[in-house]
Amino acid sequence: MSLRAERGAATREKVVAIARRLFAEHGYEGTSIEAVLHESGLSRGALYHHYAGKDALFEAVLEAVESEVGRAILASVRGVDDPRQALVTGCLEWMRLAGDPVVRRIALIDAPSVLGWERWRAMEERHAFGMLKAALQASRAVPEEFTDLHAHMLLAAINESALLVARGGGPEAAEAALEDFLRRVLGPTP
Amino acid sequence: MSLRAERGAATREKVVAIARRLFAEHGYEGTSIEAVLHESGLSRGALYHHYAGKDALFEAVLEAVESEVGRAILASVRGVDDPRQALVTGCLEWMRLAGDPVVRRIALIDAPSVLGWERWRAMEERHAFGMLKAALQASRAVPEEFTDLHAHMLLAAINESALLVARGGGPEAAEAALEDFLRRVLGPTP
DNA sequence: CTTTGAAACAGACCGACTGTCGGTCTGGAA
DNA sequence: TTCCAGACCGACAGTCGGTCTGTTTCAAAG
């Protein structure tokens, strides 16, 4: 990689890291571009050279977050052979990850409103949601024609339980409830 | 009610109605207070006299929407005796109502981001979610200790399927999937 | 080595927006 | 009639997102 491209990539990385922290801390609306500029020491011109606008910056941050989450989930199910068990394991891992305030605020609360539901789902499809759908299909736990819709509903349920953990009550209760919920949806183990 | 209080209430009603349409059409961020003022013919001072800020206005709009939805759901289950069937009926009705673009955009997409998840859920607790939890408890379909968490997850799943209807694919498929999903969670009918 | 083009960066500037503040008007109580 | 609180007004300040015109720097072409 040339020196120039490297510098550009480094700048983007730095900006995304800072924006990620600010978005997570104060939300999308509560974070000003000015603050990102100030903390990064960058100029307006430079930032707008790399990102078309505030929402594009947010999208880049979300992409980074989702990508990390996806990798972590993949790692958690590595070695689990039974597709059904892998599904449960992956979902529980997901719930734990989504308990991180950064993931919560950025990926679950602000993303739908900022990007619009369509773009949000499109991104999830490329990351964690894609895995969930594949796992659900592999498990053959639900009729084929329901796979997509059930995967969506499951995803929503998991996200919700992750948000509930933050509300209080401890993660143990939420984990137990989620596991029970999953077993119900997946049906009796054959 | 005195003439003054009446006038004030009428003003609030008018503003909320206009803001509701604009919020639904352009989202929270995409709607300017200025536009609300212009359409209502009100002055800035008057609006800020009634509502502390843009988010307070949004909250008032959301309150109105949720209240309507709650009433409609109550009406739909009137006459259904079996608690389990009432639960299914109410949920399906909810999904249909949430298919309305106004409800979708305001109550499902923007609300968590604008009010914050806590305030959003607190409001839902007072309306539709409160009913769902009560119905789930009455149905005795899930263990007592899971009632609250399962109700949350169910709610999320229903909301998700409502959003999916808008994405396309027709409401029939979503309804069938939701009903199947519900039956799985509630377990076999005794 | 020089030229040239493009990417990276800088920061003044603009329009739009939210929220504030002093002030006016009026219904209804004292 | 007096007086106050609440409804309403609109100018204004401050902030913010985004644009525009440069300037610097690297590297490829000549």
Give residue A104's pLDDT. 94
pTM of the entire predicted model: 0.93
Q: Are A91 and A182 in contact (CB under 8 A)?
A: yes
Q: Considering only alpha carbons, which residue of chain B is nearest residue A155?
A: B157
Q: Is the CB of A54 under 7 A from strand D?
A: yes
Query: Per-residue pLDDT averaged across A55-84, rounded?
Result: 95
Average pLDDT, chain B: 93
| Residue pLDDT, tens place only, B7-39 | 889 999 999 999 999 999 999 999 999 999 999
Give residue B128's pLDDT. 87
| Residue pLDDT, tens place only, B81-95 | 999 999 999 999 999
Residue B137, pLDDT > 70, answer yes
Q: Which of A158, A11, A32 is nearest to A91 (CA)?
A: A158
Residue at minimum CA to C1' distance from nucleotide C7: A4
Contacting residues for B155 by C-beta, under 8 A, at least 6 apart:
A160, B124, B128, B129, B132
- A-contacting residues in B 9-28 (Cβ below 8 Å): 27-28
Measure Cα distances from B179 to B25, B84, B161 in Å.
30, 12, 11
Residue A72, pLDDT > 90, answer yes
Contact across the interface for B185 and A185, Cβ inside 8 Å: yes
Residue B1, pLDDT > 70, answer no
**Is B113's Cβ below 8 Å from some Cβ in A?**
yes
| Residue pLDDT, tens place only, A131-172 | 999 999 999 999 999 999 999 999 999 999 999 988 877 889
Q: Which of A84, A11, A71, A72 is nearest to A41 (CA)?
A: A11
Give residue A190's pLDDT. 59
Residue B52 to residue A68: CA distance in whole angstroms? 39
Which residues 45-84 in chain A have a CB closer than 7 A to strand C?
45-46, 48-50
Residue A89, pLDDT > 70, answer yes
Residue B15 to residue B10: CA distance in whole angstroms? 9
Place A1 in a pLDDT band, splitting at 50, 70 and 90.
Answer: low
Q: Are A123 and A62 in contact (CB under 8 A)?
A: yes
Q: Is the CB of B2 under 7 A from strand C?
A: yes
Place B136 in a pLDDT band, splitting at 50, 70 and 90.
Answer: very high
- Lookup: nucleotide whose C1' is closest to A9 CA: C8
Give residue A37's pLDDT. 96
Place A12 in a pLDDT band, splitting at 50, 70 and 90.
Answer: very high
Q: Is the CB of A189 under 7 A from strand D?
A: no
